[in-house]
Homo-oligomer: A and B are copies of this chain.
Amino acid sequence: MSDAPLPEIDFWFSIGSTYTYLSVMRLPDLAAKTGITFNWRPFSVRAIMIEQKNIPFVGKPARTAHMWRDIARRAPYYGLSPKIPAPYPLENFDLTNQVAILAAQEGWVQDYTRATYQRWFEHGEPAGSDPNLSTSLNAIGQDPARVIPAAQTEFCLSAYTQATNQARDLGIFGAPSFIVGSELFWGDDRIEDAVDWAYAQQAVS
């Protein structure tokens, strides 16, 4: 084993992606177990998917049914008990991700993202709308009256666009995505491959 530090993994996500629920809920344990730092990077997967005409679920009932069943079957592997299907798609997709952008700048992005996903997937309250939005912020010690307007300033909108541009430049086309060095791994089910890759990079460095 090399003494080189473990590579970090950039975790690119959008609140609104269904499989991202699994990642958001299991990443903290995985980080503790592996010693790997995950950098939580919110962006708009919706903007990129629209550009790329990547429409996985709308008008595709068989594929949608499998997606929900697949999440329900995999959740117990991680000790999770979601109510499936969760309300989908989100009405306020951009607002909740703009809050995540602000949260990333201020250091509470993991807490916010987990709180809002938990209410969305375990209590049936859509992320980005009340009661989820205010309740999640209050629960993590943030003031909705400050945060919600701050998340909609030109500064946050611009940071959101920049993050999305950076994701596109990295070849990201879906969420969740994991970047290790120049390698892109797409999907909650590729986290373990990304971790293996990070360890292998350490071994050769």
Contacts and interface: CB of A to CB of B under 8 A. Distances in A.
Interface string A55-80: 00001101101100110011000000
Given A73-B193, A193-B74, A60 B52 contact: yes
B52 A190 contact: no
- Copies per complex of this chain: 2
Contact of A53 (B59, B66, B174, B189): B59
Given A189-B189, A193-B74, A62 B69 contact: no
A184 B69 CA distance: 9
A172 interface: yes
Contacts of A74: 193
A56 to B, nearest CB: 8
Nearest to A174: B63
Given A66-B184, A189-B189, 17 more contacts: A52-B62, A52-B63, A53-B59, A53-B60, A54-B63, A62-B171, A62-B172, A63-B173, A65-B171, A66-B186, A69-B183, A70-B185, A70-B190, A73-B183, A73-B193, A73-B197, A74-B193
Sort A-B residue pairs by CB-CB distance and give the 3 closest, nearest first. Answer: A62-B173, A63-B173, A62-B171
21 contacts: A52-B60, A52-B63, A53-B59, A53-B60, A54-B60, A54-B63, A60-B173, A62-B172, A62-B173, A66-B171, A66-B184, A66-B186, A69-B183, A69-B184, A70-B185, A70-B186, A70-B190, A73-B183, A73-B193, A73-B197, A189-B189
